Structures are given as C-alpha cells and as structure tokens.
Amino acid sequence: MAACPQNTPALDWSACDTILLDMDGTILDLSFDNYFWRELVPRCLARERGRPHAHVREELFALYAGKQGTLDWYCLDYWTAALSLDLKALKDASSHRIRFLPGAREFLSAAAGSGKRLVLVTNAHGVTLEIKRGVAGLDRFFHDCVTSHDFGHAKEHTEFWPLLRARLDFDPAKTVFVDDSLPVLTTAADFGIRHVIAVRRPDTRQPAAEVAGHDSVHGISELGGRLSG
C-alpha cells in the first residue's frame, strides 16, 4: 500500500497569534465518537425496539447519511428526539472511553504556554462539549470553547466563519486552524485563514487517511516541536 503523502506544513509560528483547534479527531480520539454512534447507539436501539441489530443498524446509518454535513448531524437534541433514546445518559455512561490523541495533551500545554490565543472550535453539541470538557479538562488549555450550535451553522458552511470572526475578532492572516474534516478545512481556507492543516489519523483504531489539497499532519503533536512565542 502506498504511504500517505507527507505534506507537513512549515509554519512560521512567530507570524501567528491565534490557534483554532477542532475537538474530535484533532485533539480527542475520534474512536470514541465512532464507537458511540456506530456501535453503541445501534445496539441500544435494537434492544429497545426488540429488532435485529443488523436491520436497525442499516436503517440508522441511512438516517445518519441523510443529515451528514448539517447542524442536525451534530445535534444531540435532534437525535435524542428522532431515536427516542437518552443519548446524554449513554454518553455519560461511556465517557470513560474519551481519550486524547497521542501527543495532543503535550501540544496543548505548549500552545497554552506560547502566549498565543488558543480556541476550541467544534461542531459538537453543547451537551457533548460539556461532557468532554469535564473528562479531558480542556478548560486548562483553551482561552475559549466555541460550538457551531451557538451560530446556527456547521463549520462546513460559509455562514459560520464570519460569525466566528465577529465573536473572536481574529485576523485570518495570523491564524492557524487544525481539523480532521476536509470540507471544513476547505471552507476555512476559502474564508481566508492562512494556515489550514488536516489531521490524517483522527481515529487510533483506523489507519491514516490520504489527504489532498491541504497541508496535513499524522497527528497534532507534529506541530508542537516548532511552536514558540
């Protein structure tokens, strides 16, 4: 199998004053979310409805596909109502599976001590964000934590970025943004953010993905060695 392209960016950190980081798949292991939505929820739904797991899983994945890329896709309230499951209780019960990606905690410590503004920018629903903030202790690192639900538009949408800039008052030319979603990164780049960087291995249970069109890193720890005030 061909190796993933190594498009590691050569960042001039001295020219950057703001670091925007995605949460799931960038600093936290996406394996938790994939487990939750692809394994735990179908299993619980099949048990609740007394139906074969395979049938429920197929129907559920079709529902997911219909909402992918929209704000509802990320909305715990929407799926709680649509599935008649207490998803917050399920997330609380499985929160012990939440983990930092390798090297992410060390990068956050370096970034928090660099004098640059560090902001978490996520599509996660507010309830999910609060659970993960508590488990991972994210408040120790970030100056602010922002969810796209505050603005009514997911990060994939062009409407999101002017609203985020109005709230944070950041200069796109002096900003680094790291995410594992290529559609999100493309929208951010189109908005004018100078450095957009993809994470190639957001889920430690899966192999690294190939990335085209954007600078990329295997994991965010690759950026930390050159981070300085």
Q: Does the pLDDT of residue 154 top 90, yes or no?
A: yes
Calculate mean pLDDT across residues 78-89: 96
pLDDT at 224: 79
State residue 177's pLDDT score.
Answer: 98
Banded model confidence at residue 8, pLDDT cuts 50, 70, 90: low
Taking alpha carbons only, the member of 222, 198, 224 closest to residue 210 is 198
pTM of the model: 0.93
Q: Which of 5-14, 54-63, 66-75 has the lowest mean pLDDT?
A: 5-14
Helix (H) or strand (E) segment spanning residue 216: strand 215-217
pLDDT above 50 for 1: no
pLDDT of residue 207 exceeding 80:
yes
User: Based on C-alpha coordinates, what's the Rg of the chain?
Assistant: 18
Residue 198 exposed, middle or buried by CB count within 10 Å (0-12, 13-18, 19+): buried
Asked if residue 107 lies in contact with residue 81, where contact means CB atoms within 8 angstroms, the answer is no
The whole-number pLDDT of residue 226 equals: 65
**Alpha helix stretches (DSSP H) within 102-196:** 104-112, 126-136, 160-168, 182-191
Distance CA 160, CA 187 (A): 9
Virtual torsion, Cα 146, 215, 71, 134, nearest 10 deg: -40
Angle of the 126-136 helix axis to the 87-94 helix axis, nearest 10: 10
| Mean predicted confidence (pLDDT) in 191-202 | 96
| In the predicted structure, residue 99 carries a pLDDT above the cut 70 | yes
Confidence of residue 11 (pLDDT cuts 50, 70, 90): confident
pLDDT at position 5, please? 46
Q: How confident is the model at residue 6, as a pLDDT?
A: 53
Q: Cα separations (Å) of 21 from 3, 27, 79, 179, 186?
A: 26, 8, 25, 6, 15
Q: Which domains can be identified in the chain, with CATH numbers?
A: 13-29+100-224 (3.40.50.1000), 32-96 (no CATH)
